[in-house]
Each structure stands twice: as C-alpha cells, then as structure tokens.
Amino acid sequence: MKTSLIHRCKVSLASLALGACVLLPAVTSQAGESAKLSPIVEPPPSSSWVHALLKLDFSDHYITPRGLNVENQGLVFQPLFLVFWNLYSNPDGFLNDVTLTTGVWSSFHSRESGPDEGNWNEFDPIAGLGFKFAKYWSFDVNYTAFESMVSAYPTSQHLELKLGFNDAAFTGSQVFSINPYVAFWKELKNKSTVAFNPATSSESYYFTIGMTPTIDLKKVKFEFPTFINIVDNDFYQQFDGTGGGSGVAVIRTGVQATVPLSFVPKSMGFWSLYAGVKYYHLDNPGLLDGNQVLGADGARKRDLVQFHGGISIFF
C-alpha cells in the first residue's frame, strides 16, 4: 500500500526552478523556483540569436515549489540546461522581444529510492515562450512534464502563465529592484502531488504571488526570492481521498548570494558561483498528508529549511 502511495506523490520544480529560484524569463522550476534565470554578469550586446544556460545545483533536500519534501537525506544534485532562441527583437515597439526556451532538468540523489530503486530520480523536459512588452513587462507561457525515472508516479504535464514587471528598468536603478510577478499553474494530465484515491482526484491549479528583491553590488548579488501559493481545494488530497483544502498552502522565502567568476575568459561564457538557503512554511492538510508519506521520518513538518549552492554558466 505504501508503495502505491509513493507512486503518485512526487513533483518537481524551479523552479522554476527551481521554483522561485530558477532564473530565466521563459521558465520559472522548477520548475519554478521561479524568478529569472539571467546570469549575474550581463553579457555585452550580441548579434547572436541563440544562447544557453547550464546550472549545476547541489542541495541537502529536494523540495518542490509546491512544498512536497521529496528527499531529505543525502546529497541532491539537480542540473538544468536551457537554450534560448531569440525569435524577435524591437526595443522601440510595443512588443520588444520574443524568446523560445527549450531545455531539461533532472534530479539525482545519493540515496536510492523508488519502486525501481535508483539514483536518477526525475527527468523534466521544459519548453516556453517569453514575451517582453511595453518596456517593463513580461509574459511567459511555459510547459513542463515530470517523469519519474524510478517508476514512482505517472508522468504529469503542466502549463504555467506568468506576468512580471521589471521595476529596475522602470526606475533606472542598477542596485536595487523588487521584480514582482503573478502566475497561474495548471495540471494538464495526471497529478503533480500525492493522490491517495485516484477515483476522487482530478487535475487542479494554483496561483502564485511573488517577488525577487535584489541587491546588485556588482562583485556580489543578493536575491531574496519570496512567494505564496494559493491553491484550489482539489490540488492536494488528504488521506481519506477528500480535497486538501483551498487557500494559502505554501509560503517560501530565502536568500541567495551570487559571485561572478571574472577570471574566466569571456570566450568560455559568463561563470558565477552561488549559495543560499530557502525557508518553506506549509499550511494545507493535504500537503502535510502527502509529505508524511514522502518523508523518510514520517514527520508532518510545517517548516522546512533547505541549503543549496552551485555554479551557473551562461553562453
């Protein structure tokens, strides 16, 4: 019975990236996570219409932007690779930029888990279209799929719509910005959360209100990615198969410091090191029930802390 529950319980991010920490206009983690995926060192103007980002992230947890505590033991390695295809650019028009983003995200764990036990836990394809308009605004349409490499759950598919405001461009500040955004996240096929009773579970949705206050001192950048998720009643499910409850389910904040590796030749891309901590407060009965199944110690923890760090390379 426990195995059948685990089969339906995991979801990725980084989003968007890695949740709110994942950093590109077209994709938010991680799944999410999620935030913009721009490097700390802005590249000079270039005629190239294609760029790429590689992030190698190491963590003590795998916690999704939806609050699922997937792994809390050992080392978690989550690489992200994105390619950005600039389809349109007109700084003087109403529509300023259109970018296609394609990529993949994975999660590797030092501790084996899943029905087909293994270390490669998850694989997520990513695709999105990002639009910048009216100088200060962005609108992103993103698709993600979460595939379990250890046969823990059926592959789920999702759509995210995100509207953001570039207050740094609006104010002209090069040091401080808030970067507010709102997003809508919808399950398209199969659940991205723990389904205790498939007969009473259904695809659902949630809204995100977030911001990424940023202090850019050039030699180091501090970011404070913060968001709340407001869920529909059926997004999570309780042990008895009823809805998990609607309203605010996840509150997340944290801090990340990023330092550019200026000694790396620009011909090799723009490299930076980052490290940070994320704090989650969980306030949904269905989410807590799901984490009780997922957690190795079976605890219903409302407050979670995650430490992470890694390297980012922008080409």
Which conformational region is residue 196 in: left (phi greater than 0), alpha (psi within -120 to 50 degrees), or beta?
Answer: alpha
Which conformational region is residue 95 in: left (phi greater than 0), alpha (psi within -120 to 50 degrees), or beta?
Answer: beta
Quick check: 140 and 174 in contact, CB under 8 A? no
- Beta strands 76-89 and 95-113: pairing type? antiparallel
pLDDT tens track for 110-156: 999 989 999 999 999 999 999 999 999 999 999 999 999 999 999 99
Sign of CA dihedral 208, 120, 150, 82: positive
User: Band of the pLDDT at 98, cuts 50, 70, 90?
Assistant: very high
How far apart CA 67 and CA 285 sit, in angstroms, is 12
How far apart CA 183 and CA 14 sit, in angstroms, is 13
State pTM to two decimals. 0.85
Tokens of 155: 């592959």
Residue 170 has pLDDT above 90, yes or no: yes
Over residues 64-84, the mean pLDDT reads 96
Higher pLDDT, 217 or 45: 217
Residue 47 has pLDDT above 70, yes or no: no
User: Band of the pLDDT at 300, cuts 50, 70, 90?
Assistant: confident
Q: What is the pLDDT of residue 296?
A: 56
Tokens of 307: 């430490």
Range in 11-25, 124-138, 255-269 with the lowest mean pLDDT: 11-25
How far apart CA 233 and CA 156 sit, in angstroms, is 19
Residue 37 has pLDDT above 90, yes or no: no
User: Band of the pLDDT at 194, cuts 50, 70, 90?
Assistant: very high
For the chain, the straight-line distance linking the first and the last C-alpha, in angstroms and rounded, comes to 47
What is the rounded average pLDDT for all residues in the chain? 87
Range in 44-53, 219-228, 258-267 with the lowest mean pLDDT: 44-53
Q: What is the pLDDT of residue 257?
A: 98
